[in-house]
Amino acid sequence: MPSCPALLIAAPASGQGKTTVTAALARLHRNQGRRVRVFKCGPDFLDPQIHAMASGQRCENIDFRMCGEADGRWRLARASAESDLILIEGVMGLNDGEPSAAELARRLGVPILLVLDASAMAGSFGAVAWGLKNYRDGAPISAVLANRVGSEYHAQLCRDTLPDDITWQGALPRDVDAALPERHLGLLPAAEIADLDARIERMANALSTTAAAALPPAVNFDNSAVSPAPTFERLLAGKTIAVARDAAFCFLYPANLECLTALGANTVFFSPLADTALPDCDAVWLPGGYPELHGPQFAANTAMASALHAHVAAGKPLLAECGGMMACFESLYTVDGEHHAGFGLLPGSTHMQKKLAGLGMIAVDLPEGRLQGHTFHYSRSETPLSPLLHATKPDGRQSEAVYRQGRLTASYMHYYFPSNPEVAARLLLP
């Protein structure tokens, strides 16, 4: 049976430092010669980029609602057979989401390291830890790490409040030089943080002197009772999928790319910002990202716009999701009202705003079949096009519109291809 030391890193809320701690732990054990695999709870694109750099291995997502429990379990089982340590970063707060990080830890049998921002507390430190461990059905919190303490005395005050069944793993000082920078969708992409490697090393060194540096207990990730690794019909055998990947299009699930390869596709990457022509391909995929930050480059790259127009005019598939769809409209407006030309593949415009416009798990029943995914964006789109259909939220309420013009399919929805590989193949099949 596949077993491997494993730990789930969680916190009472976002912003407590769990991403930094997870990345630092991954780097610490990697520096000691261990093979470390990191997983991220929830449909996150940004934290996994940080963890991939820290561990030197791809970081996959676990979300029993979007991805399915069988998907998560077989990926963990595979990783446990290949690794010396598995780290799982929770999503938001310990009891947020459905299922929450606490529920995932219970179902997977993984102990929890609780990261607590102690900067504004001392005597309440143990009360928060005890409450999270014993709330509702309880959570397998085995240890706690105090983050952002002001002094050794402050750390000791926090430590003295802990109950006997929660182990003290040490404390990290306030360190602005190690903090990870953010923008409206979360942390900056890894490629945009010039000194990211140095920040991770700095925190790894800080953790090396704490009890958190020890290997956690082994966890059995036997998946035979749930589902074996899936098999794929090679529906895309011999086909080449051109995948946009640059500073504007950086929201790519490793599982989606792996799924396309398993379906038989050859994936090639290109940059809509820098390239003037498409690779030789049968289909194009424009994933999400930050097109709103690169408007002048899009407007100046008329050759890429022409190449995409020719691709669509030839009747070839183009899948555009979230940022990919935003770039397909005629115009893109920044939050300050600055206007830039888009690719012009779809009539209409996209307008950035400070208010969140979409968030949460959704599913869509396309003509090709059903796909799971999620939405998270700060823009609204205006178009005379009538939607082909709408995605729905878990409670059945209407969510994001899906537009289709010829073989171009566009939506704010981020798709998780392994939720239905056949549907993903048909969206991209010439």
Question: Is the predicted pLDDT of residue 323 greater than 80, yes or no?
Answer: yes
Residue 48 lies in a domain: yes
Q: Are residues 212 and 271 in the same domain?
A: no
Question: Is the predicted pLDDT of residue 223 greater than 80, yes or no?
Answer: no
For 346-382, the DSSP string reads EEEEEEE-SS--EEEEEEEEETTEEEEEEEEESEEEE
Question: Is the predicted pLDDT of residue 188 greater than 90, yes or no?
Answer: no
Residue 230 lies in a domain: no
Q: What is the pLDDT of residue 359?
A: 87
Q: Are residues 209 and 252 in the same domain?
A: no
Taking a C-beta distance cutoff of 8 angstroms, is the pair 319, 428 a contact? yes
Lookup: tokens for 54: 């820290």
DSSP assigned state of 288: B
Q: Are residues 249 and 184 in the same domain?
A: no
Q: Are residues 270 and 200 in the same domain?
A: no
Q: φ and ψ at 133, to 5 degrees?
A: -70, -35
* pLDDT band for position 219 (cuts 50, 70, 90): very high
Q: What is the pLDDT of residue 178?
A: 55
Q: What is the pLDDT of residue 293?
A: 87
Residue 159 lies in a domain: yes
Residue 388 lies in a domain: yes
Q: What is the pLDDT of residue 3?
A: 86
Give the domain-ending residue among 220, 254, 276: 220
Helix or strand run (H / E) with residue 134? helix 125-134
State the amino acid at position 139 in one-letter form. A
Q: Select the more confidently predicted residue: 232 or 315.
A: 315
What residue spans of 165-280 are helical by DSSP H? 196-207, 254-262
State the amino acid at position 86 in one-letter form. I
Its pTM stands at: 0.92
Question: Is the predicted pLDDT of residue 46 greater than 90, yes or no?
Answer: no
Residue 6: helix, strand or coil by DSSP?
strand
Q: What does the pLDDT average to over 209-218?
A: 93
State the amino acid at position 34 in one-letter form. R
Question: Is the predicted pLDDT of residue 184 greater than 70, yes or no?
Answer: no
- Measured distance CA(400)–CA(241) in Å, rounded: 25
Q: Are residues 64 and 7 in the same domain?
A: yes
Q: Select the more confidently predicted residue: 358 or 419.
A: 419
Q: Are residues 253 and 214 in the same domain?
A: no
Lowest mean pLDDT among 21-25, 293-297, 405-409: 293-297
The overall average pLDDT reported for the chain is 91
Give the domain-ending residue among 188, 220, 252: 220
Q: What is the pLDDT of residue 187?
A: 55
- Measured distance CA(82)–CA(207) in Å, rounded: 25
Q: Are residues 216 and 260 in the same domain?
A: no
Taking a C-beta distance cutoff of 8 angstroms, is the pair 384, 349 a contact? no
Taking a C-beta distance cutoff of 8 angstroms, is the pair 400, 320 a contact? no
Q: Select the more confidently predicted residue: 47 or 227.
A: 47
For 208-230, the DSSP string reads TTSGGGSPPPEEE---TTT-PPP
Please pick, among 41, 158, 322, 328, the residue that the annotation labels catalytic.
322
Q: Are residues 315 and 203 in the same domain?
A: no
Question: Residues 249-262: pLDDT tens digits?
Answer: 999 999 999 999 99
Residue 133 lies in a domain: yes
Taking a C-beta distance cutoff of 8 angstroms, is the pair 133, 144 a contact? no
% of the chain at pLDDT higher than 90: 76
Residue 232 lies in a domain: no
Taking a C-beta distance cutoff of 8 angstroms, is the pair 51, 69 a contact? no
Q: Are residues 112 and 215 in the same domain?
A: yes
Q: Does residue 41 carry a catalytic annotation? A: no
Question: Is the predicted pLDDT of residue 11 greater than 90, yes or no?
Answer: yes
Question: Is the predicted pLDDT of residue 199 greater than 60, yes or no?
Answer: yes
Kindly list the distances between the CA atom of residue 289 and the CA atoms of 59, 219, 365, in Å, as whole numbers in the listed order. Answer: 18, 35, 24
Q: Are residues 255 and 171 in the same domain?
A: no
Cβ count near 41 (within 10 Å): 26
Q: What is the residue range of 249's domain?
A: 240-428
> Which residues are bridge partners to 112 per DSSP?
8, 141
For 79-129, the DSSP string reads HHHH-SEEEEE--SSTT-BTTBHHHHHHHHT--EEEEEE-TT-STTHHHHH
Nearest to 79 by CA among 38, 33, 139, 126: 38
Q: Are residues 18 and 125 in the same domain?
A: yes
* pLDDT band for position 65 (cuts 50, 70, 90): confident
Q: What is the pLDDT of residue 185?
A: 53
Q: How many domains are contained in the chain?
A: 2
Question: Residues 118-166: pLDDT tens digits?
Answer: 999 999 999 999 999 999 999 999 999 999 999 999 999 999 999 999 9
CATH number at residue 141: 3.40.50.300
Residue 228 lies in a domain: no
Rounded (10°) angle between helices 46-55 and 196-207: 70
Q: Are residues 337 and 423 in the same domain?
A: yes
CATH number at residue 421: 3.40.50.880
Residue 46 lies in a domain: yes
Q: What does the pLDDT average to over 350-377?
A: 92
Q: Select the more confidently predicted residue: 181 or 358.
A: 358
Q: What is the pLDDT of residue 229?
A: 72
Q: What is the pLDDT of residue 194?
A: 67
